[in-house]
Amino acid sequence: MSALPQLTAPLFVTDGGLETSLLYLQGVDLPEFAAFPLLDDAAGRDALRAYFAPYLALARRRRVGIVLDTPTWRANPDWGAALGYDRERLAALNERAVAWVRDLAASHPEVTAVVNGAVGPRGDGYVVGETMTAAEARRYHALQVRAFARAGADMVTAVTLTYTDEAIGVAHAALDAGLPVAIGFTTETDGRLPSGAALGEAITAVDAATDGRVAYYMVNCAHPTHFTDAFVQGAPWLERVKAVRANASPLSHAELDVATELHRGDPAELAASYERLRTILPDLRVVGGCCGTDHAHVTAITERLTAPAAVR
């Protein structure tokens, strides 16, 4: 795929909270909160197909494209080692993940699908923890993105990043591999990254370090009430934010981290917040969900944004 169709289409969707849906709604055990080992057995692959099915049906029904993620948010060397995967086995799994998603997309030829290699943070998605320099992050994430490139992914998206240097490193690793890249930051309830950096400052810094070659930016794994105020009216970096994948619940990361049950929030209220976001973000084109969301949330969002009065 030479160009990313979501950059020119009125709307693309994504899935919702993969791991939370598998764990709480489908009853799938996820050691280390990692979905990628499911690709290693038939039952796991069946669970993944069942998870993605309603999102593909939604895209077909509403005639929108879909960004299909590989289930590889935690398929990096540290999390892989914790689950018994050495680097060679991990690289092979990341390649298979792309092939699996490509086959899933091919089974729905009527839907325009972008096969996206999903990269998560080296550490936890809610806290910064031990940090890397941009150069260290570039080397660290190269294993995954090179595997995605070998397998023919259309792009790479880093999600739930908590500090700027890791984002710069992932971006360079993807560009080194010849893949378009999107960068997704998470925020705390004050609209700032867990590192304390302002969202606009982080986006501007990554653009400066990569000569503006990041395809677009995303905010994910936070509720719209946490980050909407960070979108300063008229700020030039706002046009670079083309994707939002919000959490279902307005609870903080710290509260969600200790939660023992799923917090689904209200799909209709979440959809209304996306409609408001579309009046703030000048080029919002990709929408979906993150923790606590499922196909009901993404359906509500999509139907709200594709209703006749909402279409731009």
Backbone torsions φ then ψ of 152, nearest 5 degrees:
90, 30
Q: Which of 124, 118, 130, 147 is nearest to 245 (CA)?
A: 118
> Tell me, what's the pLDDT at 262?
81
> Tell me, what's the pLDDT at 171?
98
For 30-74, the pLDDT digits (tens) are: 999 999 999 999 999 999 999 999 999 999 999 999 999 999 999
For 156-165, the pLDDT digits (tens) are: 999 999 999 9
Question: Is the confidence at residue 311, as pLDDT, over 70?
Answer: no
Question: Is the confidence at residue 86, as pLDDT, over 70?
Answer: yes
For 106-137, the pLDDT digits (tens) are: 999 999 999 999 999 999 877 888 899 999 99
Average pLDDT of the residues in 217-233: 95
Instruction: Measure the CA dihedral 213/214/216/218, to 10°.
Output: -160
Question: Is the confidence at residue 2, as pLDDT, over 60?
Answer: no
For 241-268, the pLDDT digits (tens) are: 999 999 998 888 778 777 777 888 999 9
Q: Which of 111, 96, 128 is nearest to 13 (CA)?
A: 111
Question: Is the confidence at residue 169, as pLDDT, over 90?
Answer: yes
> Tell me, what's the pLDDT at 21?
96
pLDDT band at 312 (very low <50, low <70, confident <90, very high): very low
Question: Is the confidence at residue 1, as pLDDT, over 60?
Answer: no
Of 75-84, 146-155, 171-180, 254-263, where does mean pLDDT reach its minimum? Answer: 254-263
pLDDT band at 308 (very low <50, low <70, confident <90, very high): confident
Burial of 103 (0-12, 13-18, 19+ CB in 10 A): exposed
Mean pLDDT of the chain: 95
Between 140 and 129, the higher pLDDT residue: 140
User: Contact, 245 vs 221, CB < 8 A?
Assistant: yes
Query: Domains along the chain?
Result: 8-306 (3.20.20.330)
pLDDT band at 76 (very low <50, low <70, confident <90, very high): very high
Integer Cα distance of 97 and 42 in angstroms: 14
Average pLDDT of the residues in 186-195: 96
